[in-house]
Amino acid sequence: MPDRPDTRFRRLREKGCRDFSTACQIIDAARICHVGFVHGNFPYVVPMAHARDGNRLLIHGSVASRLIKNLAAGLNCCVTITHFDGLVLARSAFNSSMNYRSVMILGQAHAVLGEEDKARGLGLLTEHLLPGRLVELRPSTRQEIHATTLLALPIETFTVKIGAGPPDDPAKDLGAGIWAGTIPIRLTAGTPQAAPDLDPHIPLPGYLQNDWYR
Amino acid sequence: MPDRPDTRFRRLREKGCRDFSTACQIIDAARICHVGFVHGNFPYVVPMAHARDGNRLLIHGSVASRLIKNLAAGLNCCVTITHFDGLVLARSAFNSSMNYRSVMILGQAHAVLGEEDKARGLGLLTEHLLPGRLVELRPSTRQEIHATTLLALPIETFTVKIGAGPPDDPAKDLGAGIWAGTIPIRLTAGTPQAAPDLDPHIPLPGYLQNDWYR
């Protein structure tokens, strides 16, 4: 029986919450997560793609991956999703910080085994990365689906931390005579680059002309 | 004595390397990292700011933080830095992927204790977040420096993984008649937002008018 994870807020408590819909917004706005697990006496942290299916977080990987096998076997894990939203430039280094939104989910994942449920979950991963893409693709083959393990982690034990807003300098620093404020930062998509082997008659699809990631 | 971490490449070996200068480029181009550690039987992954000082990675936090205290005491940790560089749109979901650059550093950090070394390291953190800013700030007070723990993690045991380039579809999928290619993605900075308490006569500094993050 695994210990219960410790999700008490200790530092910067005013930035923490446990609101499910806030967590979902942060999860849905991100395309990658960082998955933590323990092997031997060491923690390991690896980036992965993710999607959300209601109250479970979906990740996937090769059936041949040792990590994926261990996660499917119920290894304790931590999935953290972070948006780096900006720099907060205070009048001192000490009060300068970052704006961010972050969710940390702790627990055990399990493999999604039912064929229909698994195909649907893999579709959610594709569609989360690029909405509109899934319907264009040929259906995955049975062999491809069998080569992939889909994992679901319940979004039950989680914490949210959000840093937002302008710098908060003490009154004694306000006359410092230097600029203070925030620099918003976000991910943006550049111009799509056609594959070298793409038939030049195939036009750029509509879902790539939208303003996503902008 | 801690076990040695396991950094063998298992999956997608062709994407892996152990080149120090490549690792440094990835570290230096990022502003946040994800720090993994073990507490009880669970892994935890938290986002932090970082900077590099030669062959050591610097992170910092409050002297009152339990995590920082544990890291300073030599708790095994893993710091992963990831750039999400793009979506790779193959003709099938199975062959679609992401482009990314990632470094995973494993080991034990220690607190930087010498007053001069510590002040210099904290300065590197400030300067890494926004080059040009440090010289404008008032010097940190002794109290501020004492309230902060600076940690250094040797960049010795690490792995690099890089996914780059166009999709690699099997010949049988090339006639699928759908668009394939990559969408480059990067962090960009928006328009600086002045703090509400900023004296309106203070101009935007030159280092905020540069094309950083673009």
Q: CA B170 to CA B124: how far, in whole Å?
A: 47
pLDDT of the residue at A7: 84
Q: Select from B39, B42, B95 the residue whose CB has the most chain A CBs within 10 Å, as the one to mutate to test that interface.
A: B42
Amino acid at B38: V
Question: Which residues contact residue A48 at a Cβ distance below 8 angstroms, ignoring those fewer than 6 apart?
Answer: A32, A33, A34, A35, A59, A60, A61
Q: Does A192 touch chain B (CB under 8 A)?
A: yes
Residues B81-85, mean pLDDT to the nearest whole number: 98
Q: Using one digit for the tens of pLDDT, what is the confidence trace for A57-97?
A: 999 999 999 899 999 999 999 999 999 999 999 999 999 99
> Is B197 part of any domain?
no
Q: Does B65 touch chain A (CB under 8 A)?
A: yes
**Cβ <8 Å between B134 and A93:** yes
pLDDT of the residue at A2: 55
> Is A208 part of any domain?
no
Looking at the partner chain, which of B173, B179, B183 has a beta carbon nearest the beta carbon of A202? B179
pLDDT of the residue at B23: 98
Residues A34-55, mean pLDDT to the nearest whole number: 97
Q: Does A13 touch chain B (CB under 8 A)?
A: no
* CB atoms near residue B201 (< 10 Å): 6
Residues B13-28, mean pLDDT to the nearest whole number: 93
Which residues on A lie below 8 Å from B87 (Cβ)?
A: 31, 129-130
Question: Closest residue of A to B5, CA-based?
Answer: A42
State the residue for tokens 């302008």: A166
> Is A203 part of any domain?
no
> Is B176 part of any domain?
no
Question: Residue B62 in 3-state DSSP?
Answer: strand
Q: Does B163 touch chain A (CB under 8 A)?
A: no
- Write out the residue range of the structural domain in which residue B58 sits: 13-166
The CATH number of the domain holding residue A40 is 2.30.110.10
> Is A38 part of any domain?
yes
Q: Are B32 and B129 in contact (CB under 8 A)?
A: no
Q: Across chain B, how many H-helices and E-strands are there?
A: 4, 12
Q: How many domains does chain A have?
A: 1
pLDDT of the residue at B2: 55
Q: Are A196 and A184 in contact (CB under 8 A)?
A: no
**Cβ <8 Å between B183 and A193:** yes
Q: CA B1 to CA B170: how far, in whole Å?
A: 48
> Is B89 part of any domain?
yes
Q: CA A121 to CA A198: how far, in whole Å?
A: 28
Question: Residue A65 in 3-state DSSP?
Answer: coil
Q: Select from A9, A10, A15, A34 the residue whose CB has the most chain B CBs within 10 Å, as the one to mutate to test that interface.
A: A34
**Cβ <8 Å between B138 and A89:** no
> Is B120 part of any domain?
yes
> Which has more pLDDT, B210 or B122?
B122
> Is A42 part of any domain?
yes
pLDDT of the residue at A210: 65
Q: Using one digit for the tens of pLDDT, what is the confidence trace for A95-143?
A: 999 999 999 999 999 999 999 999 999 999 999 999 999 999 999 999 9
pLDDT of the residue at A1: 42
Q: Using one digit for the tens of pLDDT, what is the confidence trace for B21-45?
A: 999 999 999 999 999 999 999 999 9
Give CA angle at A150 (B176, B79), nearest 5°. Answer: 105
Which residues on A lie below 8 Å from B6 (Cβ)?
A: 39-40, 42
pLDDT of the residue at B48: 97
The chain-wide mean pLDDT, for chain A, equals 93
Q: Does A211 touch chain B (CB under 8 A)?
A: no
Q: Does A126 touch chain B (CB under 8 A)?
A: yes
Distances (CA, A) of A122 to A119, A128, B100, B117: 5, 10, 21, 50
